[in-house]
Amino acid sequence: MQKRVILKRGKEESLLRFHPWIFSGAIATIEGAPEEGEVVEVFTHEGKFIAVGHIQVGSIAVRVLSFKQEPIDENFWLKRLTVAYELRRSLGLTDRKDHNIFRLVHGEGDNLPGLVIDVYGHTAVMQAHSVGMHCDRMAIASALQKVMGSAITGIYYKSETTLPFKADIDRGNGYIIGGPCDDTPLEYGMKMPVDWISGQKTGLFIDQRENRALLERYSKGRSVLNMFCYTGGFSLAALRGGAKLVHSVDSSARAIELTVGGVEDNFPGDKRHAAFAEDAFKYLERMDPVYDLIILDPPAFAKHKDALKHALIGYRRLNQKAMEKIQPGGILFTFSCSQVVTKDQFRMAVFTAAAQAGRSVKILYQLHQPADHPINIFHPEGEYLKGLVLQVE
């Protein structure tokens, strides 16, 4: 029997606007007893085909792969990955000698909900956020090899922590094609420390690439504090931009180790840099007010809507502390990567921080995620990274 999902009457409205999620509350019946992660066709209550996607247990019950009645086979993956690769190529990210890191697939932004693929030199790191993408991982990997050819020699699958924890699947991390390769990941000429095996996410926050490039232009002669540094990308940019001193802070000792390694690789023996494994709030509390460029790039304070209020208080407190201590005329790069916090809510939290710190603040830039992390216009939830560059008088 065909595996089909039939919607409740009138519940196709968001799908007519190409939103790629179907919530469990919109479903009337499920036919053919599909297993979690299988491909299902979705029909309106009146029996009209509307979408095809991966079914999953949970509040998002179907993630739409196509609004056309087409088979989800190797040809489908080839088509989607080719479109994704061509976009990165047109952005100038794929064929440079001094740069070999980019995001090839950004979930809904590339019409592939639940899938992330990041490329580091000859290695692709693939991450499934849905059971369906997990089930189809080998077909996707094989299509990826065809699309990228000799440009990749290994595909590392890393979904242990991103798949729904209740799903009954074998979720081991490891190479599913090829093996390790010793080439150096490069971001605009900088050697980046990337540890996709034990690092966070796929090993690097690629999404801050253009913001790091902007920071580089502002760092000449400045004393820089890179708070929540992770692998130290902003610190490397500041050092190359001619900063007077750069201090990197992260609560993770492993992150500090990676940062120090990255600085040593790019600027051996450079005495301008120091790194501290410490809690951000404690450091901001105890530090001397010596910095005139501060970066605040914390982890997502709100992972769910319920945590929104606390998250906004967190952003307000963090920014207030930094604004109280930054040197007059200092520049603050401040970010939120929480998907549930909107641009306006984040800006309001920073506004309140400025008022409470009693400092006059100007917005110089409004930042966001880069073009290889595209936002599907029908899925505004995909706009997650927000940043402000402020001058604090």
Task: Show contacts with ligand SAH in window 269-308 (CB under 6 A).
Answer: 279-280, 297-299
Tokens of 288: 């001397």
Q: Which is nearer to ligand SAH, 65 or 101 (CB)?
A: 101
**Binding map of ligand SAH across residues 150-189, x = CB under 6 A, - = no contact:** ----------------------------------------
Site string for ligand SAH, 249-268 (x = CB under 6 A): -xxx--x-------------
Q: Which of residues 186-205 bind ligand SAH (CB under 6 A)?
A: 205
Minimum distance, C-beta of residue 247 to ligand SAH, in the bound complex (Å)? 13
Nearer of residues 210 and 324 to ligand SAH, judged by Cβ: 210
Q: Which is nearer to ligand SAH, 261 or 298 (CB)?
A: 298
* Min CB(349)–ligand SAH separation in Å: 17
Residue number, 20 or 203, with CB nearest to ligand SAH: 203
- Smallest gap from Cβ 95 to ligand SAH, in A, equals 24
Among 246, 254, 245, CA closest to 277: 254
- Range 202-241, binding ligand SAH (CB under 6 A): 205, 208, 228-231, 233-234
Q: Which residue lies nearer to ligand SAH by CB, 163 or 238?
A: 238
CB of 255 to ligand SAH, least distance (A): 4
User: With CB under 6 A as the contact rule, which of the stretches 247-255, 318-326, 344-352, 384-392 interacts with ligand SAH?
Assistant: 247-255
Residues at the contact surface with ligand SAH, assessed by CB under 6 A: 205, 208, 228-231, 233-234, 250-252, 255, 279-280, 297-299
